[in-house]
Amino acid sequence: MYELVLVLFLAVGNVLGQVFPEETLNPRGIAGLNGYAFEDHVAPTADGEVLHLHRLPCSRGMMVPCGDPNKPVVLLQHGLFSSSIDFMENGPESPAFALADAGLDVWLANVRGNTFSPPKSWAYSFQEHATYDIPAMVNKMMNVTGAPSIYYIGYSQGTTMMFARLAEDPIFATKIRKFFALAPVVHVNTLKGAAAIFTNHNFAKEIKKRGSRPYLQKGSGISKTCKSDWQFCSAMMKSIVGPDSGRFNTSRARIYMSHFPAGSSTQNMAHWVQFMRSGIFRKYDWGPKGNIKRYGQSTPPIYDISQIRVPTHLYYSSVDPLALATDVEKLILPQKFIKSSKKYPTYNHADFLWGTTAPADVYLDIANVIKADDRRIPSILPPSSNLNVAKVPKPKRKPYNTRFSRMPMGRRS
Ligand SMILES: *[C@@H]1O[C@H](CO)[C@@H](O)[C@H](O)[C@H]1NC(C)=O
Ligand SMILES: *[C@@H]1O[C@H](CO)[C@@H](O)[C@H](O)[C@H]1NC(C)=O
């Protein structure tokens, strides 16, 4: 669907001259190239998958003491067809590195089906990411760090899966200290632009015939198609992710294209198409019979986000055709659990990930919110920029020493 066409656009990078080491490096290699320590952690899910979490435990240049066990712990969750590596592709000015330098213990998610978390079964959608993948990763982080709760930053589909999880699991919700939702998506049937054309593809029929399969894995042939027709790619890009805001660094497109798309499943595509057609945020639709068998009712259960209690901060754009401002403002912003919102006038959907100004505009703002919430982070952050910040009174909180108190390993999860 939409990110598919983003792929087309990005492929133009392959015809550009400069070659980057990041094109062939893995996340550990890119972290090392930029001067960051890197850890790979394995998170087993309750349904038998194995996910790989990537961790940047230190800042560059050790401005913040490395290995400080009291650092706030943050999970950075990628979007559709993406992976941990996409947060590290702009050199030192990458979101993951900006957060590490801000003094956070940065963990990068990889949900099942992407390059770094190859699945045993392709029969999954964002429902399984919500039900199994998120809890598995959060539990692992809590287990390793001893933190009683974590901060979660989700982008695009990475917000969708957390809204779903929080809507139906108040016990899990106690593990999420704050939720930062970038380009948040809980409604898609008013999608503007070319993304709408994907609603016509019958993934469900394919699945019935052949079962769920990999979709847009790494090295997808689409990039080649694009090289021969750049004008098409460029036009589609604008139609899908929104107008070019001047934040997309075309000279680095080779790097992005080397790692994106990182894969999903046809069942996930089918679930997104169901979502687009119904406009209802709910579980996978197996048809009346299948739904009764799985859910005990003829229609899929709805994810009711009004049930959410986790303090949430929104980052969205006036011109993002995938996370429409009108949807965000009608469906998410009025909810009681929203603590602040920042609306960016010119960001397109991709700018929240690869935009050259995103670390300063978005990610350091998040770090500042975390810093205000947890004063033990050393003060090395620049002051927050003042972009339409809606100030909402801070929630009451427990004293610092109990919130991040260490507990013996193995007690939780
Ligand atoms: C774009 O990427 C090139 C190549 O890495 C880099 O030299 C340049 O500084 C980047 N531009 C911006 C605005 O970040
Ligand atoms: C949590 O940590 C304990 C002790 O290190 C370990 O025995 C246990 O398997 C871990 N659990 C998970 C889910 O990683």
> What's 350's domain CATH number?
3.40.50.1820
> What's the token pair of residue 276?
């687009």
pLDDT band at 18 (very low <50, low <70, confident <90, very high): confident
Mean pLDDT in residue range 114-139: 98
- Mean pLDDT across 361-369: 97
What per-residue confidence (pLDDT) applies to 399?
Answer: 35
Does the pLDDT value for residue 257 go beyond 70?
yes
Is 399 part of any domain? yes
Task: Check residue 400 and give its pLDDT.
Answer: 36
Residue whose pair of structure tokens reads 């930029």 in the numeric block? 34
Q: Which range, 99-103, 216-220, 239-243, is most confident? A: 99-103
Determine whether the shortest distance from the Cβ of 254 to ligand 1 is under 6 A: no
- Among 55-69, 232-246, 373-387, the minimum mean pLDDT is found in 373-387
In a domain, residue 12? The reply is yes
**Nearest in space to 128 (alpha carbons), one of 68, 45, 203:** 45
Residue 31 to residue 292: CA distance in whole angstroms: 47
Percent residues over pLDDT 90 in the chain: 66
pLDDT value of residue 116: 98
Number of structural domains the chain divides into: 1
- Residue 408 placed within a domain: no
Q: Would you place residue 380 in the very low, low, confident or very high pLDDT band (cuts 50, 70, 90)? A: very low
Whether residue 392 has pLDDT greater than 50: no
Average pLDDT over residues 388-397: 44
Ligand number with the minimum distance to the CA of 13: 1
Provide the domain limits for residue 314: 2-403
Mean pLDDT of all residues in 143-161: 96
The per-type count for the chain, helices as H runs and strands as E runs, is 18, 10
R_g (Cα) of the chain, nearest Å: 20
Which residues, 6+ apart, have CB-to-CB distance to 399 below 8 Å? none
Query: Mean pLDDT for the chain?
Result: 85
Supply 1's token pair: 């669907």
In this predicted model, what pLDDT tens digit does every residue of 47-88 receive, in sequence order? 999 999 999 999 986 655 676 778 999 999 999 999 999 999
357 CB near ligand 1 (under 6 Å): no
User: Are 332 and 338 contacting, i.e. CB atoms less than 8 angstroms apart?
Assistant: yes
Residue 252 CB–ligand 1 contact under 6 Å: yes
Q: For ligand 2, say whether the CB of 140 is within 6 Å of any of its atoms.
A: yes
**pLDDT at site 313:** 98
Positions marked catalytic: 156, 320, 349
Name the band, by pLDDT with cuts 50, 70 and 90, for residue 253: confident
Q: What is the pLDDT of residue 224?
A: 56
Q: Of 184, 211, 225, 157, give the one whose Cα is nearest residue 317.
A: 184
Q: For the segment 8-17, what is each residue's pLDDT rounded down to a tens digit?
A: 444 444 444 5
- Residue 275 burial by CB count (10 A; 0-12/13-18/19+): exposed, middle or buried? buried
Q: Is residue 92 part of a domain?
A: yes
Give the residue-averaged pLDDT of 231-236.
66
pTM: 0.87
Which amino acid residue places its CA nearest to atom 3 of ligand 2? 410
Of 18, 23, 251, which is best to mutate to test ligand 1, by the most ligand atoms within 8 angstroms of its C-beta?
A: 251
For residue 366, the model assigns a pLDDT of: 98
Alpha helices, H only, 169-265 = 170-173, 203-210, 222-227, 230-241, 253-259
**Is ligand 2 within 6 A of the CB of residue 221?**
no
Ligand 2 atom 6, closest CA: 410
Q: Does a structural domain hold residue 112?
A: yes
Answer yes or no: is pLDDT of 222 > 80: no
Q: Which residues contact 7 (CB under 8 A, 6 or more apart)?
A: 81, 216, 220, 222, 223, 226, 257, 260, 261
The predicted pLDDT at position 201 comes to: 79
Given ligand 2 and candidates 55, 139, 143, 412, which is best to mutate, with the most ligand atoms within 8 Å of its CB?
Answer: 143
In a domain, 347, yes or no: yes
Query: Given this model, what pLDDT does residue 19 score?
Result: 84
What digits encode the pLDDT tens for the residues 299-319?
999 999 999 999 999 999 999
Which residue's CA is minimally distant from atom 4 of ligand 2? 410
Please check whether residue 155 lies inside any domain of the structure: yes
Q: Is 145 touching ligand 2 by the criterion CB < 6 Å?
A: no
Q: In what order do the strands lie in the sheet with 39-44?
A: 39-44, 50-56, 105-108, 73-77, 150-155, 176-182, 312-317, 338-344
411 located within any domain: no
Helix, strand, or coil (residue 316): strand
Of all ligands present, the nearest one to the C-alpha of 407 is 2
Range 106-118 average pLDDT: 97
